[in-house]
Structures are given as C-alpha cells and as structure tokens.
Amino acid sequence: MLTGQFLLLGAILFCIGVYGVIARKNAVLVLMSIELILNSVNINLLAFALRNGSADGHTFALYVIAVAAAEVGVGLAMVLLIYRNRRNIGLDELSEMHG
Amino acid sequence: MTLSLTLAAGWVAPTIDYHALAPEIVLAIGLTVVLLVDLFTTERNKWLLSVLTGFSLLGAVLPVLTLMLHDNSVRSLFDGRYVVDEFSLVMKGLFLLAGYVIVLLSTSHVEEGDYWRGEYWFLLLSSLLGMMMMASARDLVSVFVALEFLSIPAYMLAAWRKRDVKSNEAGVKYFLLGVFASAVMLYGMSMLYGVANSTLLIDIGKSIDLDGAFGAVQALAIVFVVVGFAFKVSAVPFHTWAPDTYEGAPTPVTAFLSVASKAAGFTALVVMVLTAFPEGRDVWQPFIWGLSALTMTVGNLFALRQTNFVRMIAYSSVSQGGFVLMPLAVAGGPAGESALRAVVVYLLVYAATNLGMFAVILAVSRKTRSGEISSLGGLFSYAPAMGVLLTLFLASLAGIPPLGGWIGKFSAFQALLTDATPWAYVLAIIGAVNSVIAFGYYGNIMREVWMRPVPHGDTTPIVTPSSIQIALGITAVVTLLFGILPGIVLRFGEMAELLGAFGG
C-alpha cells in the first residue's frame, strides 16, 4: 500500500516543523511549527495503523489531536499575555533574565 | 475500519480494581471540590482552598499506605496499561508528600499576593494527579497523556503572575520548549508503535531488536524518547529553559518544578528505559552517559558564577539531575537493580533537601525582598535558626555525611562501581570531581550566611508564618533522618520493584 509514501510525508513535515521551531522568532509561528510536528506524528500513527491492521494507532492519534488542542489553547493564551504586557511577540526580545 | 468495528463489537468493560486507583480517585475528587468551592466562596473565605488542597493530598496518601501494606502483589489494570507496583507506590508517596510541603510553602505566598488563588490550587492538584498517573503508566498512550497532564498545568503555574513580564517569559519559555520536546518524543513513540504493533511498553520491549530490519528506526525512536524526557528533567543540553523559568516563576512554583516535576520526568525515564528499552541499551546507555556527564559539569560551572540565589539553585538542581542520571547510564547492565534503587533513593533525598532549601528562601525573602546571594549576609547573626537550617540543606545537597545527601550520592556511586566497566569508572570520576566543584558555590553561600556583615545593618528578625515553619520542620527532620538512619531510605529503594524490568 501507500504506507511508505505516508511515512515519507510524515518525515518531511517533521523536518519542516523542527526547522520552523529553530529558525522562527515569532511565537505564533513557532506554535504553528509545533503543530506541524504533531500532525506528522498523526500521519505516522495512521500509516502504521493501516500497515499493522490494528486500531491502537487510531486511538493514539485521537489522543494526540485532543492534547494538541489543549496545548495550543494554553500556548495562545500565553502569547496573548506577552502581547498585552509588551505589545510584541518576538521571542528574541524575551530576555528579561540571562546568565 | 472493519477491524475497528469488530473490535468494538467484542468489547467488554474491563473490571476495575478501585483500591488500586483510590489515590488518583481521591485526588480527582479533591481537585473538583477545590474548583467548585473556589466558584462559590467570597474573597474572604479563599483560605479554605489551601486547607482543602492540603487535606486532599493527605487523603490520597492513605490509600497509598494501605496499598503498600496490603500485600506484595502487583495490581495490573487495563491489560497491563496501568500498573500499581511498589515502584509506582513509592513515587506516588513522594509526589503527594512533596505536594503537601509545596502547599505549606505556597499558603502565605498565595494569600499575600492579589493573584488568582483558586486557580493556583486547582492547577497544582491537576499537575500532581498527572504525576500520579505517570508513576503507573505502562503504555505509550498513557505515558503521553500523563506527561501532558502534568506539564500543561505546570506551564500555566509558571506564568501564573499574569502582569509580571518575568513570569510571562518564564511560562512561554517553559511552554515552547516543553511542547517541542513532547512533540519530538511523540514522533519517536509513533515509530516504536509502528514496529511493535502495540503501544504496551512490555510488547515494545520484546519487539526491540537493534540488529533487525528496523534496528535503525528503533534506535532513532529511542533517542527521540530519551530527548523528550531529558527536557523534562532539564538535562544539558536541553536545560536552557530551566534557569529562566525557575527565576521568573513564583518561588513556590519553582520549588514544585524543580522537585516534583523533575521527579516525575525521572520516573517516566526509568520506566521507559527499564521496561520498554532493555534490549536497546546499546543506544540509550551511551546517550544517558553523555547527558549525565554534561549535565553535572555544565550545571555546576554555571552555578559557580551566579549572583542570584534562585538562579544558582536552578543550576544546582540541573547539576543534581546529572547525579540522578548517573546510575541510569549503567541501568541496562548487571547493575540494573542497584541503579533503580539509587535513582529512587536520590530522588527521595533530593526532594526533602531541595524543598527545605526553598522553604528557607521563601522565609528569608519575605524580609529581604531580594533574590541576590549578598542579601543573605550575616543571616546567622539575626536569624540563627534560618542560618543553621540553610547550612544543613546546603551541606546535604553537597553530600556531606551525616545528612541525607550523602546516602543519595553513595548509592549512585555504588551502582556505577557494581557495573565495574571502564566507562562506569570514568563517569564515577567525573561525578566525584563535580561533587567537589559543587562545594564551591554551596560554600560561598555558607560563608555569606556565617561570616559576612548584614547588608545595611538591618537586623530586624524574620517573621516566619507557621505553615513555612511546619514545612521547614518536616524537611529538616527528613533530611537528617535519611542521613543518620540511611536504612529507612534504602528500604524504600529496595522495595521499589518495577514490574516488567529485569525480566520480572
């Protein structure tokens, strides 16, 4: 079947996500990159579930989707906090503390 | 699709052992009550919430005790996906008692600030419930859900002081790195599932074959999973969030993150490497070896040059994490059981000592309103009890007998020497050198406390609220007791049998 292609798609999405987390300086874009990684995980899980013929992967993917929604909720709330206090969501300017 | 439908047709409700789940159930009821009471009480009666939180934690300790005393059998629920064995019971006891001490530490802090009190207690209890689940989770899905359950409330706690830019920064850094780490870990988990065709850790353990057709995939997956937990336990080079988050978060939350959250990360790491990856030891042993050596050294070197007390404690707790990783680096070999024991003993001792340290910081900073090390000058001259207690906790962290810390370090080194391989000896030497370096900054604080003059000559005595006094009492007694009678803590370590590890 197409399992190989799905896994390749998952791997490409994962790499784009990791690149985005490292390269982007905007909090919202970093959050989006993390979502990309989580979706690559979902594609992987579903492809494997198809190949293995078991329902475990589907269940796992459902959990990942639910938890990702919770994570984004908290993440956007924090970005909003930062924006309210600083009028800016650039991560490289978040440097109140260092050393 | 057809397959899932047939599965659904044959589904029977699992029998649930309610006694085994009792600690979690009590905690879940407790946090619901806290949330509801918060809704219906006026500002004046919010003090009730801290009392309720404390009682639900102590209430959850009771079933843990009855489960420990009941019999030695392992209770396995949901086809082995949720296991209540001795290891999980010891860790649950640790989380609950650490949680209780943190409630004591937070009470005055929370009551005095005009912050969101109800939410604070609710989030604290949620995170602790996640930790309890983590101790029992033996399935990729439940490990993942437990990890997020304990992390998401912790992100919010770190950013709890909404209008403080530092607290915002602490929360965002912790959140972004934590979520990134768990995403990478999930990618590893998806590969583990793909090869094993099961999410049960024991089945994954059986499927791992590094020389097989999927050896490379599994090796990569193991590295990803270990990296995910390395973030959680702030192992170098995945520690970058820790100092900023610890400094920016409210101090009781810092105590929570550096003790309970870290212990939960280690619990998960231990369960993963010992039950799911024993056959993959050629991958994770060298990896954890490197993490451990780096974590101890880098944590110490950065701690040496800090002038802020909380930030120094942050780096010190990073480096203490390296000592916990040290026995894990040989856990796949013949020294496996003594390594597991060493991790449990170290975590117990570290929890008592570090919480005590934070109790002193909280008490002293109520007067000094400063986090600088120099603000501790002459502490002994005007607050002798605080001076002595701070010295006690520092000495325990440094590993001086007869305090708790030495027995933790002793069992970690013992595990390495039991392994008796050249790599283990090298790591033991790195650990020994680092123990000596750590004296540098712990000693620096002691010198400040005992020998330096009081800043601005301000010798007004410190007023300590009774909740912090109780917390100081508990942690000091436990730290001393573990050191003078190491048999107690070693027995907990020996008790901690982990189902599925070492072919058991």
Q: How close, in Å, is residue A98 to chain B by CA atoms?
A: 7
In the predicted model, what is the mean pLDDT of residues B263-285?
A: 89
Q: How far is CA B323 from CA B122, B284, B292, B481, in A?
A: 32, 17, 7, 21
Q: What is the pLDDT of residues B217-264, one digit of tens each?
A: 889 999 999 999 999 898 888 888 888 898 888 888 999 999 999 999
pLDDT in tens, A40-91: 999 999 999 988 888 888 999 999 999 999 999 999 999 888 888 887 777 7
Check pLDDT > 60 for residue B2: no
Q: Which range has highest mean pLDDT (B98-112, B179-193, B324-338)?
A: B179-193
pLDDT of residue B462: 80
Residue type, B102: I
B189: chain A residues, CB-CB within 8 Å: 41, 60
Task: Flag if B190 and A58 touch (Cβ within 8 Å).
Answer: no
Contact predicate B240/B200, CB 8 Å: no
The CA distance from B99 to B257, in Å, is 11
Q: Is B187 on the interface with A (CB under 8 A)?
A: yes
Ranked by mean pLDDT, which of A89-93, B7-11, B66-70 comes out on top?
B66-70
Searching chain A, which residue's CA lies closest to the CA of residue B314?
Answer: A99
Beta-carbon separation of A55 and B4 below 8 A: yes
Q: SS3 of B290, please?
A: helix
**Identity (one letter) of the amino acid at B343?**
V
Q: Tens of pLDDT along B311-333?
A: 888 899 999 999 999 999 888 87
Segment holding B447, helix H or strand E: helix B422-450
Place of tokens 């934070």: B358
pLDDT score of B7:
63
Compute the distance between CA of residue B245 and CA of residue B168 in angstroms, rounded to an integer.
9
Q: Which residues pair with B137 in a beta bridge?
A: B82
Residues from chain B that touch A75, judged by Cβ atoms under 8 A, are 175-176, 179
Hey, are the CB atoms on B140 and A60 less than 8 Å from each other? yes
pLDDT at site B499: 67
CA distance B481 to B485: 6
- Report chain B's mean pLDDT, rounded to a whole number: 86
- From CA B225, how far away is CA B186, in angstroms rounded? 7
Q: Is the pLDDT confidence value at B278 over 70?
A: yes
Domain locations in chain B?
17-503
ω into B453 cis (within 30 of 0): no
Smallest CA–CA distance from B304 into chain A, residue: A99
Q: Which of B39, B114, B157 is nearest to A78 (CA)?
A: B157
**Cβ distance of B187 and A56 shorter than 8 Å:** no
| Amino acid residing at B152 | I
- 3-state DSSP call for residue B127? helix
Q: Using one digit for the tens of pLDDT, what is the confidence trace for B337-384? A: 888 888 988 999 999 999 999 999 888 888 777 778 888 877 888 888
Token code pair at residue B396: 């325990």
Chain A CB contacts of B311 below 8 Å: 97, 99
- Residue matched to tokens 């002798």: B384
Count CB neighbours of B195 within 10 A.
20
DSSP-derived 3-state class of residue B200: strand
* Nearest chain A CA: its distance from B198 CA (Å): 7
Determine the Cα–Cα distance for residues B87 and B93; give it in Å rounded to an integer.
10
Rounded distance between C-alpha atoms, residue B181 and residue B177, angstroms: 6
Residue of A3, A45, A87 to mutate, testing the B interface (most B Cβ within 10 Å of its Cβ): A45
The ipTM value here is 0.93
Report how far apart, in Å, the C-alpha atoms of B116 and of each of A42, B122, B181, B314 are: 36, 10, 29, 25
Nearest to B445 by CA among B385, B384, B372, B368: B372
B119 vs B71: CA distance, rounded Å: 38
pTM check: above 0.90 = yes
Provide the chain B residues 343-402 that lie in CB contact (below 8 A) with chain A: none
B102 pLDDT exceeds 90? yes
CB contact under 8 A, B194 and A47: yes
pLDDT digits (tens, 9 = 90+) for B149-176: 999 999 999 988 888 888 888 888 899 9
User: pLDDT tens digit string along B399-448?
Assistant: 887 888 888 888 899 888 888 888 889 999 999 999 899 888 888 888 88
The nearest CA of chain B is from the CA of A52 a distance in Å of 6
B221 membership: H or E segment, kind and range: helix B215-232
Is the CATH number 1.10.287.3510 carried by domain A3-93?
Answer: yes
| DSSP at B214 | T
User: Residue ranges of the domains in chain A?
Assistant: 3-93
